[in-house]
């Protein structure tokens, strides 16, 4: 069996497990919608992106049912993926998926992002999250996790530019990160516009971040300049 065939089989099996799992892990109920909105949306922006392709240790915070971390782990078995979620039911589901898919490159953590940062500070080459929090909140979670000169990514829709970008700008200097690149792409028959926003860590993040559990969401860093 060719490697690509094996990956396709694993992706199909993963989709089936994800949409049929007893605990609701996704809003998508059929394979086509799940493939477009979860799998393609995870793969399209990184398939030719060197900042990702050159990374070895990658973390996905608030991974939920494994998006995008588990998808990436299937496609890139040579890389290490750390999947973090604070909801134990989701982590238990991921344990099942990983065992069924025979993945050996995934490490699971049932922790809050703020606590995970205490033990994995500046440990990763690449950090991401999808649909976890507003961009400034997400960046406070992610920036402390990556090494200097490594990368952070956010998955966003068009509303990012009208609703969130102003908050992002307010946290860049505080977290010692700079916007690196924006990748625009489309998914599905209706050509939904999506954006993959990449940031580069240009200096060590202050030990003040992330703040204590719950504080980043309660008092978002981007609310003040």
Q: What is the predicted pLDDT for the residue at 24?
A: 86
Other C-beta atoms closer than 10 Å to the C-beta of 182 total: 13
Q: What is the predicted pLDDT for the residue at 3?
A: 59
CA 192 to CA 202: how far, in whole Å? 32
Q: What is the predicted pLDDT for the residue at 189?
A: 86
| Strands, sheet with 177-187, edge to edge from the N-terminal-most edge strand | 106-110, 80-85, 57-61, 124-129, 146-156, 192-201, 177-187
pLDDT tens for each residue of 20-70: 998 888 988 899 999 999 999 999 999 999 999 999 999 999 999 999 999
| Structure-token match 């939920």, residue found | 64
Is the Cβ–Cβ distance between 51 and 78 less than 8 Å?
A: no
Mind listing the pLDDT tens digit of every residue in the chain (225 residues)?
455 889 999 999 999 999 999 888 898 889 999 999 999 999 999 999 999 999 999 999 999 999 999 999 999 999 999 999 999 999 999 999 999 999 999 999 999 999 999 999 999 999 999 989 999 999 999 999 999 999 999 999 999 999 999 999 999 999 999 999 999 999 988 899 999 999 999 999 999 999 999 999 999 999 976
CA 112 to CA 211: how far, in whole Å? 12
Q: What is the predicted pLDDT for the residue at 160?
A: 95
What domains can you pick out in the chain, each with its CATH number? Answer: 3-223 (3.40.50.150)
């Amino acid at each position: 069996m060719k490697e690509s065939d094996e990956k396709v089989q694993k992706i199909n099996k993963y989709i089936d497990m994800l949409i049929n799992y007893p605990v609701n892990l996704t809003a998508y109920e059929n394979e086509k919608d799940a493939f477009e909105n979860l799998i393609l949306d995870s793969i399209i922006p990184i398939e030719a992106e060197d900042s990702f392709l050159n990374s070895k240790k990658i973390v996905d915070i608030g991974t939920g049912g494994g998006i995008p971390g588990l998808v990436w782990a299937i496609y890139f078995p040579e890389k290490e993926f750390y999947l973090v979620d604070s909801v134990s039911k989701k982590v238990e589901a991921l344990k099942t998926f990983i065992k069924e898919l025979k993945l050996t490159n995934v490490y699971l953590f049932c922790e809050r992002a703020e606590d995970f940062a205490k033990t994995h500070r500046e440990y990763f080459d690449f950090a991401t999250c999808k649909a976890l929090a507003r961009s400034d909140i997400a960046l406070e979670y992610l920036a402390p996790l990556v090494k200097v000169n490594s990368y952070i990514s956010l998955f966003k829709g068009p509303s990012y530019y009208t609703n969130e970008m102003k908050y992002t700008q307010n946290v860049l200097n505080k977290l010692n990160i700079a916007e690196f690149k924006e990748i625009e792409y489309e998914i599905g028959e209706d050509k939904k516009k999506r954006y993959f926003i990449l940031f580069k860590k240009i200096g060590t993040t202050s030990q003040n971040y992330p703040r204590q559990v719950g504080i980043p969401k309660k008092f978002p860093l981007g609310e003040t300049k």
